[in-house]
Amino acid sequence: MFKTLASRLTILYTLLFAILSLIVFGTINYSLRINLLDRIDQEFLGDGKEYIEIFKQGGLTVVAQEILLETEGEGVDQVFIRVYSPDLKIIETSDMETWKDLPEYSPLLENLDHERFDTVSLSAHSGRVRVLYQPLGGGYILQSGTLLTFDEMLLANFQRVFSFAFSIMLVSGILIGSYISKRALAGVQRVKETADQISRGNLSQVISFHDQTEEVNDLISSINRMQSKIQTLIKELQDVTNNIAHDLRSPVTRIRGLTETTLSGGQSLDEYQSMSGAVIEECDSLVGMINTMLEIAETDAGVTPLDRKPVNISEIIRDVAELYSPVAEDKQITISLKIVNDPLIILGDRSRLQRAFANLLDNALKFTQKGGHVSLNTKIENHHVQITVADSGLGIATEDLPHVWERFYRADGSRSAPGTGLGLSLVQSIILAHGGKIDITSQESAGTQVTVCIDMVDA
């Protein structure tokens, strides 16, 4: 029963509530008892001062008369009054018929120089008795007492009322504690149910928010992010598997065809060497394709974290342009740079950003005819750095444009050019991993423009 967190919290709430209630009861009960005794003591002290004055003015005879009047008025079964001589002998007393169990002697009578109070229990009385010892003067001592029956009845009634109220509050505390515990853990229960569904393969399940506490909402957010990450990983795995099954079949088939053709008849050493070279070239292309696919999958899934450091994007653009300048010269293509003078600092992985912009420039040069031009521009806009790679090449057909980010997708105009169809997919993965945006616009025979936007950081 107590293995669940809800039941344990309920017990904890109930115990805490009970302890606090008992502390409050004890405090009130103690305060009430002290106040009742203090009230009686103040009455005693007031009467004692009167007896002192009476003794001074009229002596023992008048004191005896006052004792008789006082006890008859209060009730001889409720109060008693006695006067002791200097040698501690009783010389005056009220009617003690109902006080026979009261001892005549008390150690408090010895050396009494100021008033003293005592509370005693007598066998013939159900309640306790409050007693005052008051020096009258001349060695005489006044002893007076009263039953605390009324006060103890008041305390007993208070205790009964508290016990009844405490029982009701304890049951209410259990019910309220159980309700609060279950409501507080309702989000955790939904997390468990969703986790069970995910473990059974339902990766599309997302936990909804229902006015939970901040801690539970944080837990739900973490589970949803984890579930989304798992879903992305599985999707990437499925995509890689599908790509391997579909798009790697062609190079493997070519390799098999080369070897089968060469082995089908008596071939010379040169032909075997030529076949080996072709197989090696196909294998290199195959390995490069697999590595690129894995890099895209790992980047999309966040498996390989970015080595984020402050980098100047202007330097990366200049380095990439310088790297591809020989290729541009061979094709008689002009590369123009328009880069702002201010440092364009972003938080990113230099090597991956270099590869992304190198792929963009490589594509621009690949599909630009002899004598064309390619431009690389940067500018700052709303604390973002915007990089544009534009060319005057063949352009992309309108129906092909939505598919250019897909893996292995190659438009009709690009099928004759070397490549795997993974370049733009890799670029998109890298830019999105940096929290950036990438967009492409194109028009057939008028060129293509790719725009990348990434947040800047303070230098």
Q: Which of 41-50, 208-217, 368-377 has the lowest mean pLDDT?
A: 208-217
Higher pLDDT, 397 or 213: 397
What average pLDDT does range 193-205 have in this prediction? 68
In this chain, the answer to whether the domains covering 213-301 and 309-455 adopt an identical fold is no
What average pLDDT does range 214-226 have in this prediction? 73
pLDDT score for 241: 65
pLDDT score for 416: 46
Q: Which of 63-67, 169-173, 299-303 has the lowest mean pLDDT?
A: 299-303
For residue range 313-366, what is the model confidence (pLDDT) as tens digits?
A: 888 889 998 999 988 898 899 889 888 877 888 888 888 899 889 888 888 888
CA distance 279 to 272: 10
For residue range 225-235, what is the model confidence (pLDDT) as tens digits?
A: 777 777 776 77
What number of CA atoms fall less than 13 Å from residue 122's CA on the CB side? 22
Which is the CATH superfamily of the domain at 309-455? Histidine kinase-like ATPase, C-terminal domain (3.30.565.10)
Higher pLDDT, 161 or 140: 140
What average pLDDT does range 71-91 have in this prediction? 86
Residue 159 confidence (pLDDT) above 80: no
For residue range 286-328, what is the model confidence (pLDDT) as tens digits?
A: 777 777 777 776 676 666 777 888 999 888 889 998 999 988 8
Q: Taking Cα atoms as reference points, which of 179, 193, 219, 220 lies closest to residue 9?
A: 179
In CATH terms, 213-301 corresponds, of 1.20.58, 1.10.287, 1.20.120, 3.40.1000, to 1.10.287
For residue range 137-150, what is the model confidence (pLDDT) as tens digits?
A: 888 888 888 888 77
CA distance 325 to 337: 12
What average pLDDT does range 375-387 have in this prediction? 88
pLDDT score for 215: 67
125 to 96, 158, 242, 326, 392: CA distances (angstroms): 13, 22, 98, 119, 117
Higher pLDDT, 158 or 139: 139
> Rounded to the nearest 5°, which phi and psi values hold at 440?
-135, 135
Q: 78: alpha, beta or left, given left = phi > 0 and alpha = psi -120 to 50? A: alpha
Which positions ≥6 away from 367 have C-beta within 8 Å?
391, 393, 394, 413, 414, 417, 448
Query: Which of 173-178's residues contact partners 24+ apart within 8 Å by CB, and which partners?
Result: 173/13, 173/14, 173/17, 173/18, 174/10, 174/14, 176/13, 177/9, 177/10, 177/11, 177/12, 177/13, 177/14, 177/17, 178/6, 178/10
CB 363 within 8 A of CB 339: no
pLDDT score for 223: 74
Q: Taking Cα atoms as reference points, which of 153, 152, 154, 130 lies closest to residue 143?
A: 130
CA distance 142 to 56: 13
Instruction: Please report which helix (H) or strand (E) contains residue 451, including its range.
Output: strand 447-455
pLDDT score for 283: 79
Instruction: Please report which helix (H) or strand (E) contains residue 136, including its range.
Output: strand 128-137
pLDDT score for 247: 62
What average pLDDT does range 36-44 have in this prediction? 80
pLDDT score for 415: 43
Domain range list for the chain: 5-154, 213-301, 309-455
Higher pLDDT, 400 or 269: 400
In CATH terms, 5-154 corresponds, of 3.30.450.20, 1.10.1780.10, 3.40.250.10, 3.30.930.10, to 3.30.450.20
